[in-house]
Amino acid sequence: MPSIAIIGAGSSGLAAAHTLRDAGYAVTLFEQSAEVGGRATSRTRDGFTYDHGAQYIKQGSPASVSLITERFRAPDLIDIKQPVWIFDGQGRIQEGDPVQNAEPKWCYRRGLITLARQMAQGLDIHLGTTISRIQHTANGWCLFVGADPLPDHFDSLLITIPTPEALPLIQVSQLDEHMQERICSHLSQARYNPLLSVMLGYQPIPRSRPYYALVNIDKAHPISWLAWEHEKTSERAPAGSGLLIAQMAPPYSHEHWQTSDEAIVRDVARLVNTLIDETLPAPYFSDIQSWRYALPTTRANADALNAITLPIGLAFCGDAFVGGRVHLALEHGILVAQHLINR
């Protein structure tokens, strides 16, 4: 049974793990966080349940649809029926694309993390484990945690973490020098924007709208996304409360990265009031998630990179190569896993 290590247990890594295990591989995943899923995650605090990274899953290819609706289907899978409307830099709101709004917007009553937890069941996953460097040897791949090598060698290695984390990992690792330079050259092509995701809980509930969320279309507003999170399901907020999620545009996120949470909440609440033209009280609940590597803006070329590394049993996949959508990450994990199997 060939063995493979996967660094990163986000959507792409989990999809790859199952594809490889189905093909007879012994799969071990290493995830530096305490939870699987990456940005496709959720949080529960003070009676609120919310998706503070990815907001829902779009319909993709049959491969990703099958994972969501069949193999890892959860009983609380829902399709958000209300549409997404659009707004511009002047705050003018209008109806969104009817074709896109007719497509499924999948989520879960207990939060988007449900999919990752479903997929994680039965897998050998080491949470809270940061791989500090890797080494290619005659026996395959050796991974290090701190200064210590792991006891097992692996025949193959798949790296799924964001490229700003993968690049320094490769730079400090023991690889053929020419190979190392070529890998780093490809990884350095990817660029990410940061994202401040701001959760605002209100009493009474903000008034209902003909839409579930708003998205900025001209990149000229401090808010890029505003969602009525309690519209997903009634379980998302305590009785009599509502929750809005404002995801801020890259310039705003850059400028306020070091600003205090209290100041950000005040400022974002003001921007929300102005955008929706509703005088809301001060939020009685708030939370902020700072995503340093949230949205890939420039992608690296996975085909060119993996053409170089597959002969030595190394491959890369994830959002740096396909963009920030959950279904795209799932599909890329499946695709690259198949390349590893077929090499």
CATH number 3.50.50.60 is the correct assignment for the domain at 3-38+117-191+297-342: yes
Is the separation of the CB atoms in 217 and 301 below 8 Å?
A: no
pLDDT (0 to 100) of residue 8: 98
CA 208 vs CA 102, 154, 187, 267: distances in Å: 20, 54, 44, 23
Extents of the domains making up the chain: 3-38+117-191+297-342, 43-113+192-295
Per-residue confidence band for 295, with pLDDT thresholds at 50, 70 and 90: confident
Per-residue confidence band for 213, with pLDDT thresholds at 50, 70 and 90: very high
Tell me the pLDDT of the chain averaged across its residues: 97
Mean pLDDT value across residues 50-69: 97
Side-chain half-sphere CA neighbours of 231 within 13 A: 22
- pLDDT surpasses 90 at 343: no
CB-count burial class (<10 Å; 0-12, 13-18, 19+) for 104: middle
Tens digits of per-residue pLDDT, 100-118?
999 999 999 999 999 999 9
In the CATH scheme, what architecture does the domain 43-113+192-295 have?
A: Alpha-Beta Complex (3.90)
- pLDDT surpasses 90 at 272: yes
Residue 236: DSSP 8-state: G
Is the separation of the CB atoms in 180 and 173 below 8 Å?
A: yes
CB-count burial class (<10 Å; 0-12, 13-18, 19+) for 325: middle
What number of other Cβ atoms are within 10 A of residue 58's Cβ?
15
- pLDDT surpasses 90 at 209: yes
pLDDT (0 to 100) of residue 228: 98
**Using CA atoms, how far apart are residues 251 and 227, in angstroms rounded to an integer?**
20
